[in-house]
Amino acid sequence: MKDYDVIVIGGGPAGLAAAISADKEGARVLLIEREAKLGGILKQCIHDGFGLVRYGEKLSGPEYAQRFIEEFHIRNIDYSVLTYVIGIEKTEHYTVRVVNTKGVTCYRTKTIILATGCRERTSKQISIHGTRPSGVFTAGTAQAYINILGQMPTKKCVILGSGDIGLIMARRLTLEGAKVCGVYEAKDSPSGLTRNILQCLEDYNIPLYLSHTVTRLFGEDRLKAVEITKVDEKMAPIFGTEEIIECDALILSVGLIPENELAESLHVEIDPRTKGPACDQDFMTNQAGIFTCGNALHVNDLVDYVSESGELAGKAAARYIYKDREYISIDTDNEFLYFLPQKIHIRDIENEMTFYFRSNQVLKNALMTLSVNGKQILKKKYRNLKPPEMETFKLDISQFKLTGDDKVTAALKGENP
C-alpha cells in the first residue's frame, strides 16, 4: 500500500491550491479527483470575473484554474483522475479506499484534506407542488449543458432563486437566444452579489421579482408552465396572487450546500450555520489529521478565497504532527449568518489567523468586534454588510497569549436600512 503525508480529495481550485501548498512544504502528496479533468466546477464557468482579488485580473473560470493546474503539473504532484473515494478508515493513520478503471486501491496517509466542493439544492429540497415533468434543472446543470455539452436546455424559462449561478445563467441563456421571463426570489433581498444583479440582470433587462416563489409545476412529459405566487415576510404564499407563466424550463438557483458525505462518514462535526465542518484556524476538523477547505468548508462567493483556504489547509496538513490540541471556541451573536473558524487552537500559534464571516441580514454602518474576556481586541467598521457578500480579516492572535480559561467573543451591530 502506497504511503502519503497528505491526500487531497477533490481537484477543484481548493484541492489544487492545497496540494501545491503541501508540496511546497515537502510533503508527499496525492490528489484524487472523480472527474476526468482537474479544475472542479470552474471548468464550466466560462464567464469572467475570477481572480480579481488574487491577480487583479478578470479571468474566466478555466483560465483561473489553468494557472493552478500548470503549477501542479510543474511540481509533479501525484494525482489520480476518474477516481472516486469510496471510503476512509481510521487505522494508525488513515486508509483511503478508491475505485477507478484499475479496480479498488488503498492508500495510507497521515492527513486528509477534504476539498470536495458543494452541491446545489434541488427541487426536492424546496417542495414544489404539481407534476414532475422534465425541464426542471439546477442552474449548474443548465450551465454544464450549455458550456460543456453545447446543448440548449430551454427556449423560454423561469429562474427561481437569485443565487449567483442563477444570475449568471440568466445572462448566459439570454445571450444564447433563450427568453428568460424573470428571476423570482422568495426573500425580500437578492441572494447573489450586487455586481451580478447589475451585470447579469439589469444590463439585459431581465426582471427580478423579490418576495415571489414558484408554487406549482404544470406539464406531463415536459414542463409547460409554472405558477408564481407572492409571499409574505414569513415566505408563506399569499392566496389570490397566483400567476401562470408558460415556459419549458424552470432553472433552480436556490442555494449550495457543502458536500459532506465523506466528512460525515468520518464523524466530523458539522456546523449547522455553514453546513460544513467546524474547524480551527488551520482548517482542521474535530478529527485529528482531517482538514477541509474551499466550498466543502463553507460556500464562498469568490474563488480567490477558496484558493486561500486551500493554501492554508495544505500548509497546515503538511506540517501536522499528532499532538493533542487545546481549543477555545469563539462565541458569536445571532447577527452573524456564520463565523469561521469556530474555534482557536491555542498552543503553538505562529501566524496570523484568517477569519471569514457573513451577516445574517443587510446592515448599514456596521461594527464587528472581537473580544477576549469582554475586552475588545479588534474593531472593524463596514458601511454595508449583506448576507451574499462574505467578509474576511486577518489578525495575529499569538500576541494575546490565550489560555484555556479565556473567552473569545465576536459581535456584530448595525442599522437596518
Ligand X SMILES: Cc1cc2nc3c(=O)[nH]c(=O)nc-3n(C[C@H](O)[C@H](O)[C@H](O)COP(=O)(O)OP(=O)(O)OC[C@H]3O[C@@H](n4cnc5c(N)ncnc54)[C@H](O)[C@@H]3O)c2cc1C
Which parts of this chain interact with ligand X (CB under 6 A)?
Answer: 9-15, 32-35, 40-42, 45, 84-85, 115-118, 120, 140, 143, 164-165, 168, 256, 259, 262, 294-296, 300, 302-303, 306
Rounded to 10 degrees, what is the CA torsion of 370, 373, 376, 378? -40
Please state, in angstroms and rounded to a whole number, the distance separating the CA atoms of residues 307 and 16: 8
Q: Which long-range contacts (CB under 8 A, 24 or more apart) does 73-76 make?
A: 75/20, 75/23, 75/24
Cell 448599514, located at residue: 364
CB 125 within 8 A of CB 148: no
CB of 157 vs ligand X, minimal distance in Å: 16
CB of 115 vs ligand X, minimal distance in Å: 5
Closer residue to ligand X (CB): 84 or 218: 84
Closer residue to ligand X (CB): 85 or 346: 85
Closer residue to ligand X (CB): 166 or 182: 166
Please state, in angstroms and rounded to a whole number, the distance separating the CA atoms of residues 76 and 282: 25
Closer residue to ligand X (CB): 206 or 302: 302
CB of 311 vs ligand X, minimal distance in Å: 12
Closer residue to ligand X (CB): 229 or 295: 295
CB of 86 vs ligand X, minimal distance in Å: 8
Please state, in angstroms and rounded to a whole number, the distance separating the CA atoms of residues 94 and 7: 10
CB of 9 vs ligand X, minimal distance in Å: 5
Closer residue to ligand X (CB): 164 or 308: 164
CB of 228 vs ligand X, minimal distance in Å: 24
Closer residue to ligand X (CB): 143 or 215: 143
Closer residue to ligand X (CB): 110 or 298: 298
Please state, in angstroms and rounded to a whole number, the distance separating the CA atoms of residues 75 and 411: 43
CB of 18 vs ligand X, minimal distance in Å: 9
Strands 156-160 and 208-210 turn out to be unpaired
Cell 449547522, located at residue: 272
CB of 388 vs ligand X, minimal distance in Å: 12
CB of 268 vs ligand X, minimal distance in Å: 14
CB of 129 vs ligand X, minimal distance in Å: 26
Closer residue to ligand X (CB): 35 or 311: 35
Closer residue to ligand X (CB): 66 or 241: 66
Closer residue to ligand X (CB): 264 or 348: 264
| Per-position b or e across 129-146, b if 16+ CB within 10 A of its CB | eeeebebbbbbbbbbbbb
CB of 374 vs ligand X, minimal distance in Å: 36
